[in-house]
Structure formats: C-alpha cells, structure tokens
Structure 1
Amino acid sequence: MLSKVAERVYWLARYMERVENTARLARIHSQLMFDLPKSIKLNWYTLVQITSNEDYFEQFYDVKTEKNCMKMLLCDPDNPASLIASLWWARENTRTTRDILPREAWIHINELYLMVKDREEDFKTRSKRNELLKEIIRSCQAWSGMLAGTMSQNDTYRFIKLGMSIERADMTSRLLDVGGLFIAQEALPDEEHAFYSVLWAHLLKSSSAYFMYRQKFQTEISGQQVIDFLIQDEDFARALLFNIGIIEHTALKLPHGDNLNPQIEALKAALLQSKDYQVGSLDLHNYLDRIQIKLSALHSEFYHLWFNPKEVA
C-alpha cells in the first residue's frame, strides 16, 4: 500500500470517529439541561474546550452563547474541527481511496454528507438539531459496523482501526479532563449533591459508556469509578487502555509495527498507574495532559513509520 493511501484511510477513520463523537457531545449536552435544576446554568463553552477550539472561537466569535458554540462546533465550514468539516474530509478521503474500500463505504458517506448539507438549517433549532444529530450518530455507527462486517482484515482495515482507536482514546481523555473540571466547578450545595450523579451520567453518555458502566458498577455513580472505568477498563470499547491494546495488536501486523513497542508500553504503564485523583484537580489535569502528549507522540510515530517514512531499521 502506498504511504499516501494509508494516510488517507487512517484519517478517514479519524474523521468519521470525530463526526460521531462531536454529534454525541452536542446531543447529550443539550439533553443535560432537562436533568439539572434551574439554578445551574448550562455552560455551552465546555464543548469548545473539550474539542480544543478556544483559539478559533476567540478569533471568530464574540459571545459564548449556545448559538455561537453550536455553530462553531457543528456547521462552521471554516473550522477544521467542526462536524461538517470533518464529514467533508471523510468524504474526500473515501472518494480518493474508493478502489480499496467496499463500494458501500463511499455510498454511505456520500449520502450522509448530502443529507447533513440538505438539513444544515436544522442545526439552528434545538429540537431539530437533536433529531439530526441522532441520525448522524446512527449513520456513523452503521458505517463502522458495515466495514467490520464486509472488509478483509488486511492492511487497509488495520489503518482504519488505528485511526478509529487513537481518535477514541484522545476524545475520552479530553472528556475526562474538561468534563471533570465542569463537574467540579458546579459547586452544588449539599442538598443538591444528587445532581453530581446526573453530571457524571452525562459524561458517561457522552462517550457511550453509561450502560456498560452501570453493568459493571451497580451502585451510585462515583467520580473516581468513572475515571478508572474510562481509563483502565480492558473490555470497554472507548476506554483508553482498551484502545491502546487495539493499537498494539494492530500495529504488530503492519511493517515495522514493533518499533512502536516503547511508546505503547510507556502509555500502558501510565494508564495502569494506581492513584486516586480529585475530580477537576490540577493533578488530574496534568496526568491527562501527559496522556494526550503521549497519544500525540504515538500519532507522530505513525507518520515516521508509515505515512512519511524514513529509513526504518
């Protein structure tokens, strides 16, 4: 496989995962306002922070309103991290690699893109927006399921798995970082302490983890258990440790994949460290920041090995 083709397939998977994650973030955050007491004002800017778009927002938007945050996150074509921009790039990467992907992959993404463009005005109305986001999430899940059920487990599919896994790991770490800070900043009075469970449930739902978490922990939702579950669970598909395991297993089947062993082992060791973190604390933020740096370094190593290869021993 040519390195430029491998890169496009890798980014195709990252963009599709990003589209699904962004849609879920926006939809679950909208639903949160119905579960919280009126005394708590929902902070839409949290979504901008989770996606690391603060600089872009400050440059092009003036007020941190729901309208501005949703526009930037979902339908701003000039924001490279927006849902519509990610979907456009996923479509382009599919179009230019159609000869190695099932025909249904192109049809599915093209139809999804055209549907979203046709209904772009729905993003401006909360009820219509939530319904459209629900359809986008379902379509992204159908796409990944279709590939899993119709593709050979060859190098093309391996690069798809790498892109999907590293994007999931990155988003989960961001959710824990900014989402945990959001929960800590609410400073709820003692009589409203029960709403901490609502906020933690919101974070779990944002990563499609609520049902699996409740299966494993059949008690009141605990912030520390949520952190441990989303970082260290070896069986949940969006947990950090699970996705690093997928990357490790997949890389070993690619040329020179064993060169990633030092970075992967360092990541796993960091994820498996046993420590209780105060929700929203500087310690937790610094820990997750180190994890994100390691993920970024792993992504860079992908380029060194496969997408922009130099001579590899």
Structure 2
Amino acid sequence: RFVVLQKDNWLLLFNTTAADWDDLNAKRITGATWWKQVRNGLRFYDRTQQKYITAKDFTSQNQTTKNQTNKDFTGQGGNNPLPPVNTNPDAQAENILLEPSTTYLPADGTSAGFLLATLTDATYAGLPGRGVNFTYEVRGQDEKALGVTPTDQLGVARNKITSSRALGPVLLRAGTTTLNASTQILVNPAPGDDVKLQVQAVIDGLTNQGYRQVDAGFVQDTGPTGETAGVAIAQARAAAGAFDRTLYSQLARMLGTLRTVMPKANHLFPMLLYAAADGHDYRLIFLVGEPRFYFRHRREWREYER
C-alpha cells in the first residue's frame, strides 16, 4: 500500500502493507517497530519548492520556516505581555506570591526544583531589586535557611533547590521583613527510569497539593521521521471555576511536576476535570507539544467517572 500524508506544505510518501498499517493503528505493533520497516523507503516532497527533499531538510525546515523575525518581544507594543513594575526604591511591598516549579522533587542530588517569589506593591506592580529570604522546614526539625535572593527586573526572586535525601513533605517559605508566603512539596525517593514509579510520583506530588481525582501516565512514541516522543499526561479536578490565579498555579504545577519527574517527556498534556453549570463534566486539555500524540494514546489514560 502506498501512503501519502500531508503536513503543512510537505507530503510524506512511503510504502507499507495493509496488515502492518492496521497493526500500527490497532497498537498491535509499536511505532518504532513499524518505522524500521518503512523508513528506508520514506520520501519527503516540498510542495512549495516542488521537489523531493531529505529527512534532515524536512526536520530543519519544519522548525525554522515559522515566522520568528517580525515579532515584538520588547513589551513596547499596544498589547504589552510584560507585567507592570514599580522601580521606586521607597515603594512599599504589599504582596508576595510563592510558587514551586514542581510538587515532587526526586531526592537524587541532581534533579532541581525552583522557588519563584513575586514581590509586588499595592497595585500588583513588580518590585525589582528587593531581597527575598528563602527557608525550608522538615517535619519535626528546625527551620533552615536557603539564602536571600534579589528580585529581578519584574520583581521575581528565584531559588534553586535540590536534595540527596528523601525528606517527605517539606514546607518552603519566602519572605521579607513584613511579608511571608509558604508552600509545600514532596521530597521523596527518585523514581529513576521506572515509568510506574514516575507515574506514582506525579500522582503523589499533585495529591499532596490537595488536588482531587489525580491521575498520570507516560508512554513513548515514534514520530513520522523516526524521532522519539515522550508523552506525559497529568489529570486533576480543576481547583477553581474560572481562569484565575488558582487555576494558573495548578496548571503550572502540573506541567512542572511532569517535566521534573519525567525528564524524557517532551510532549506534556495537563488535563483539568471541570463540572459545568449545564450538568456536564468536561475535560479541559492543555497541549504543550503535538496534539496527535495525545489523541493517539488517549484511550490508554485512566479516566474517572463523575
């Protein structure tokens, strides 16, 4: 069977048997196995240039022909993406927000998490150049210092954390002389490359945050040009009924936990369960990666009934 697939301006042409194609779609064989059978005969056709190109040219063009040159990243345009700042050194700090980059830190001495403390004034404008004191506390022990870090030009102070020992739940704090904020993460044994342990670590970390109906999964897949894709998903009941800071925080923690615990994951899909006023239960899926990998494996993810 001769197959032609279209991706934007490119055609992917290859030969395969009907039986092999059915086995691939039914997941009776892996993408890697199927790819070994067809890769030598795979050809790429550029419809714009009207000529065949190599796999290397296809991969390179696919990433570089996007318009990345006429973009305004300065924040000087009418739709300013940067938050406001207050550079007055006498401005009073009124708010501090602390966010962890992950809810589960593998205790292997190399995996890193980050604490991000945002310091703002009464109008929530960032305060640059201010010192933020970071500390941590393990249950049953005294509070220990992590150091003082100055806020950057947007009013955000960062502190990198690692651990070579499993500590269980760890309370993390960030503060000034007048303000303080805290959050908690799990610092537990490193799951290594064991997928089952990785999945459980993600579930444990998110559950420890108080999120409900938590689930997670990870699979490896092979793309059309033979690249390996690590597909990771995390599911939880939405912590808020609107797109507010609580929901943004939940999404960030889900993404960060997947990336920290599953370092081979390069396609991340956090999913929020949302009970709408119309009586239906919806799944809000956020795709950081190629959607096709999510939809190819969506039946493999465990689902909760309402």
> Quick one: higher RCO (CA 8 Å, sep 6+), 1 or 2?
1
TM-score with structure 1 length normalisation?
0.22
Q: TM-score, normalised by structure 2?
A: 0.22
Which has the higher Rg, Structure 1 or Structure 2? 2
Please identify which structure carries the higher strand content. 2
Q: Which has the higher helix share?
A: 1
